[in-house]
Amino acid sequence: MQRQAVQWRRQGVRIGFVPTMGYLHEGHMSLVRRARRVVGRSGRVVVSIYVNPTQFGPREDFSRYPRDLKRDHELCRREGVDVIFAPSDVEIYSRPFSTFVVEEEISQSMEGRSRPGHFRGVTTIVAKLFNIVLPDVAIFGAKDYQQAAVVQRMVRDLNFPLRVIVSDTTREKDGLAMSSRNKYLVGGLRAQALVLWQSIKKVQALVKKKRRLNAAALKEQLQKFIELQPDAKVDYIEFFDPVTLKAMNDVSTGTHMALAVFVGNTRLIDNARL
């Protein structure tokens, strides 16, 4: 992959990159289309498919994370992806492996707090993939808002010679943010999962009416609302500055909201600008 990328760079061919963990859905495909729009017909679009073990906690769903490389291939083929880069663990983590990329500020809250070590895994694998694929532009989904912010910070701090684009969250018709983990939502869980998007719409409506809201009171109110669902349990609800990701006590237009909710055993996340 790297040899090919070096050659493309030498030929002035632009490289658009969509890093994924596979089990692709329409959200990923919208990132692929965005990459294609940026690099054009003469460019190359690379999709990586790699379920990175180091970004999963010991009790998380690494081993049962959904995989379907055959279906992924078919989706990529239809969308005109030029290369699928699907490395094995031994190719990625040669032994002994001892170098890591860490972001120590905006990775501390929310996903970083709930999932210790998660972002260290993310920044390390993304740095590796950037060095292998050598993209001119990399597309990340806004559904993982904090991840996109951490990657943007890493790219700026470490001077990666590329541009990061954060592309809007793709949603099902009823508002559920697309995610490979939605596969876990069987039976009545699927309907309950809608409560994340409903919470966001609720706060957006409140912010429209009132200019300022108290974050703590809002969180309490939302938690009650969410946990009316029999299988829903709030992990976190956060209101923060969209750039620094610093938590805010006052919620108003432009504040960003993110939440993580367990629906059954499945941990779902969503976020939006208010």
Catalytic residues: 28
Instruction: Map residues 158-197 to x or -, x wherever contact with a copy of itself holds by CB under 8 A.
Output: xxxx------------------------------------
Determine the Cα–Cα distance for residues 101 and 244; give it in Å rounded to an integer: 19
Determine the Cα–Cα distance for residues 51 and 20; give it in Å rounded to an integer: 8
Task: Find the binder of a copy of itself among 49, 106, 148, 268 (CB under 8 A).
Answer: 106
> Which residue matches tokens 């790219």?
155
227-256 burial string, b = 16+ CB within 10 Å, else e? eebebbebbbbbbbeeeebeebeebeeebb
Q: Does 103 bind a copy of itself (CB under 8 A)?
A: yes
Q: Does 12 bind a copy of itself (CB under 8 A)?
A: yes
* Strand 256-263 relative to strand 266-273, pairing: antiparallel
Strands (E), 110-212: 137-141, 163-167
- Minimum distance from CB of 131 to a copy of itself (Å)? 4
* Binding to a copy of itself, residues 57-96 (CB under 8 A): 94, 96
Closest CB to a copy of itself among residues 213, 245: 245
- Minimum distance from CB of 169 to a copy of itself (Å)? 25
Looking at residue 10, its amino acid is R
Stretch that binds a copy of itself, among 153-161, 203-211, 252-260, 262-270 (CB under 8 A): 153-161
Q: Does 153 bind a copy of itself (CB under 8 A)?
A: yes
User: What Rg do the C-alpha atoms of the chain give, in angstroms?
Assistant: 19
Tell me which residues touch a copy of itself (CB under 8 A): 2, 5-6, 9-10, 12, 94, 96-106, 123-124, 127-128, 131-132, 134, 153-154, 156-161
